[in-house]
Amino acid sequence: MRMWKIEPHNLCRKHLLGEHVELHMMVGTLNKGVSIDGYLKNGLFEIHNIQTRHNDIVKEMENRGYNHNSPLPTFTEFVAGNIDSESNKTELFKRCEGCRKRYEKTKRTKAVMV
């Protein structure tokens, strides 16, 4: 499980929907009282940003015309975790050509608009 913490519009379908599922999984893990120390230690999640990230992911899903029918369960939010979004971006773009292409297209579009 991980939060990529990059702009949701840069995520390919697989990573957008995957992160959505993983946010739900993390809330389930928190609600069960299972240790999340490894996720926090390895910079994979920011507990204090789960709800905001879920909202951002859902907004992007809806922008793409996907149906969203899974509100995030309630959980006790607390400040924990720190994600390096730049290193995540580098890692994701090495792994996924689809995400890399979406990012490059967005960069080109923004450059033309300026």
Mean pLDDT confidence for 65-91: 95
Query: Per residue in 39-51, pLDDT tens?
Result: 999 999 999 999 9
Would you put residue 96 in left (φ > 0), alpha (ψ -120 to 50) or beta? beta
pTM for the model stands at 0.90
Residues 6+ apart with CB under 8 A from 56: 8
